[in-house]
Amino acid sequence: MKKRIPLFIVFLVGMLMIIQFFIPHRLSVTFYTGFLNWFTAMVLFALIIGIGTLLNRHFKKIKRKDDDWGFSIVTITGFFGMLLIGIFGGIGEGTLFMKLFEFVLTPLQATMFALLAFFIASAAFRAFRARTFEASLLLIAALIVMLGRVPIGDKLTFGFASTLTEWIFRIPNMAAKRGIQMGIALGMIATSLKIIFGIERSWLGSDD
């Protein structure tokens, strides 16, 4: 029973979602949006548990005086600070909450994103060292595209790089993308159906 009921729920909900796709009637639309609101209601409780696991980890670190335990205070203060400022000060335009979003979260996010430029250089270097035929193909195509995308690279190759870049995008890249996408779609459908029909039950823990 501990497994049968959840498996039946998955089957029922999965089938209902498939069926509602084919029904344009507004009852079906209401059903769908109703479900989305259900998840809005459910996720808050999961979030409370989630936050609990994070805080628990940091409180334990502080208690045990682990390495870097001082930084755990930063996380805890940051979380409760932002939460209380939001709850008591509001989250609209011009509030302290939004100011913190703009001057703390936004630069942090943007800088993490900007790190990509450095990491991509080291990734290119790693790809360059690879000795296999496949890796060399990847690298050659990447080099051509990089040359073709900047004016100076294109000038150096007398316009050849941009022509070739365009060809690569239109022909081999297009073919690869479509092949992969169709395979992925098949995989997604298979995984979904396996779960709906209870063929794959590992999400319940052991599948025996």
Partner 1 sequence: MELLSNILNPWNLLAAFLTFAIFSFLYKDNPFYKFAEHLFVGVSLGYSTCIIIFNAFIPKVVNPIFTDFSHNWHLVIAVLLGMMYFFRFSSKYRWLIRFPMAIQIGFTAGISVTLRMDARLFKQLKFTVMPLDNIYTIIVIVGVISVLIYFLFTFKRKGILNPLAKLGTIFLMVGFGATFGNTVMARISLLIGRISFLLKDWLHILE
Partner 2 sequence: MGLSLKPSKLTSLPENERMSSLPLYRIRGVLIIFYLFILIIPVFGKQFNFKAFDTPNDSGNSISIYLTVTDNFSTGRYVIYRIDEDNNEFEVVNFELSDSKILEFSFIDSNVKDGVGYRYQLYYTKKNLSSYFILSETSFIYSSPQWYHKKKTPVLIGILIYVLVLFLSILLAKRGGIKYIRKLPGLDAIEDAVGRATEMGKPVLYLTGLERISNIATIASLDILARVSKKVAEYETPLLIPCFDPIVLIIAREIVRESYSFTGKPDIYNEDNIYYITGNPFGYVAAVDGIMMREKPAANFYLGAFYSDSLILAETGAATGAIQIAGTDSPIQLPFFIAACDYTLLGEELYAASAYLSRKKELLGTLKTLDIMKILIMIFILLGSILITFEIDITGFLIR
Q: Two tokens at 163?
A: 């022509």
Enumerate residues 6+ apart whose C-beta is below 8 A from 89.
95, 96, 97
Distance of alpha carbon 117 from alpha carbon 110, whole angstroms: 12
Its sign, for the CA torsion 54, 60, 62, 64, is negative
Looking at residues 106 to 165 of the shown chain, list those that interact with partner 1 (rule: CB under 8 A). 106-108, 110-118, 120-121, 124, 127, 134-135, 137-146, 149-150, 165
Nearer to partner 2, 94 or 122 (CB): 122
Distance of alpha carbon 16 from alpha carbon 204, whole angstroms: 21
- Least distance (Å) between residue 98 CB and partner 1: 10
Distance of alpha carbon 187 from alpha carbon 185, whole angstroms: 5
Applying CB under 8 A, the span of 55-63, 85-93, 146-154, 162-170 interacting with partner 2 comes to 55-63
Binding mask 18-47 for partner 2 (x = CB under 8 A): x--xxxxxxxxx---------x--xx--xx
Looking at residues 175 to 194 of the shown chain, list those that interact with partner 2 (rule: CB under 8 A). 177, 180-184, 186-194
Looking at residues 36 to 95 of the shown chain, list those that interact with partner 1 (rule: CB under 8 A). 37-47, 49, 51, 54, 68, 71-72, 74-83, 85-87, 91
Nearer to partner 2, 25 or 152 (CB): 25
25 binds, among partner 2, partner 1, none (CB under 5 to 8 A by kind): partner 2
Q: What share of the chain is helix, strand, coil (3-state, %, to 5)?
A: 85, 0, 15
- At 112, the amino acid letter reads M
Distance of alpha carbon 85 from alpha carbon 163, whole angstroms: 55
**In 10 A of CB 95, how many CB atoms?**
14
156 binds, among partner 2, partner 1, none (CB under 5 to 8 A by kind): none
Q: Does 27 bind partner 1 (CB under 8 A)?
A: no
171 binds, among partner 1, partner 2, none (CB under 5 to 8 A by kind): partner 1
